[in-house]
Amino acid sequence: MNAKGTAYKYGDNVDTDVIIPARYLAIQDREELATHCMEDIDKDFVNKISKGDIVVAGKNFGCGSSREHAPLVIKVSGVSCVIAETFARIFFRNAINIGLPIIECKEASEKIDDKDEVEIDFDSGIIYNRTKNEKYKGQPFPEFMQKIIKAEGLINYINEKSE
């Protein structure tokens, strides 16, 4: 499984309130919700993201609320993977549970610049920076979590397990 796209870079502690502000949380339609993705940190986000693009951030990405709307709007926006030095734990769970690929890698988080072309091999955890011709070793997921991601989320995983 691979992801490939243009990287868009953000800083440390990107919280779920800026990823999807609470004023939109009553919206149930996921496409409509996603039009507000990252609105309070980057008003232009939804216009510049193309399908497959990659979000790169620093420490503690997704801190704050447990709202699953946060990884969901990122996924629905077309982002193929979020790379961060670390993720807040509820965001980490939620991303896996809804099938949004994420990967922790300090080196990639530091060295990838805005608009670099990036490719990720999820099986090996290797992140290729095609613009800078560099590669970084990310933390591959334990087998259990890979199974959930491959099933595209926890619900499918549980359904498959019950078969």
Partner 1 sequence: MSKPMTMTQKILAAHAGLPYVEAGQLIEADLDLVLGNDITSPVAITEMKKMKENSVFDKDKIALVMDHFAPNKDIKSAENCKCVREFACKHEISNYYDVGEMGIEHALLPEKGLTVAGDAVIGADSHTCTYGALGAFSTGVGSTDMAAGMVTGKAWFKVPSAIKFNITGKPSKWVSGKDVILHIIGMIGVDGALYKSMEFTGDGIKYLTMDDRFTIANMAIEAGGKNGIFPVDELTIEYMKEHSKRDYKIYEADEDAVYDEEYTIDLSELKSTVAFPHLPENTHTVDEIEEPVYIEQSVIGSCTNGRIDDLRIAAKVFEGRHVKKGVRCIVLPATQSIYLKAIEEGLIKTFIEAGAIVSTPTCGPCLGGHMGILASGEKCVSTTNRNFVGRMGAIDSEIYLASPAVAAASAVKGYICTPDSL
User: Which residues of the shown chain bind partner 1 in the complex (CB under 8 A)?
Assistant: 13, 15, 17-18, 21-23, 25-28, 40-41, 59-60, 63-69, 71, 86, 88-90, 93-94, 97-98, 142, 144, 153-155, 158-159, 162
Shortest distance, CB of residue 63 to partner 1, whole angstroms?
A: 6
Shortest distance, CB of residue 29 to partner 1, whole angstroms?
A: 10
Nearest to 19 by CA among 5, 3, 4, 33: 33
> Rounded distance, CA 82 to CA 74, Å?
9
Contact at 8 Å (CB) between 154 and 147?
Answer: no
Shortest distance, CB of residue 73 to partner 1, whole angstroms?
A: 12
Of 52 and 64, nearer to partner 1 (C-beta) is: 64
Nearest to 40 by CA among 15, 9, 73, 71: 15
Of 93 and 118, nearer to partner 1 (C-beta) is: 93
Dihedral (CA of 73, 49, 85, 41) sign: negative
Of 17 and 121, nearer to partner 1 (C-beta) is: 17
Of 77 and 94, nearer to partner 1 (C-beta) is: 94
Shortest distance, CB of residue 37 to partner 1, whole angstroms?
A: 14
The Cα angle at residue 61 between residues 34 and 102, in degrees rounded to 5:
75
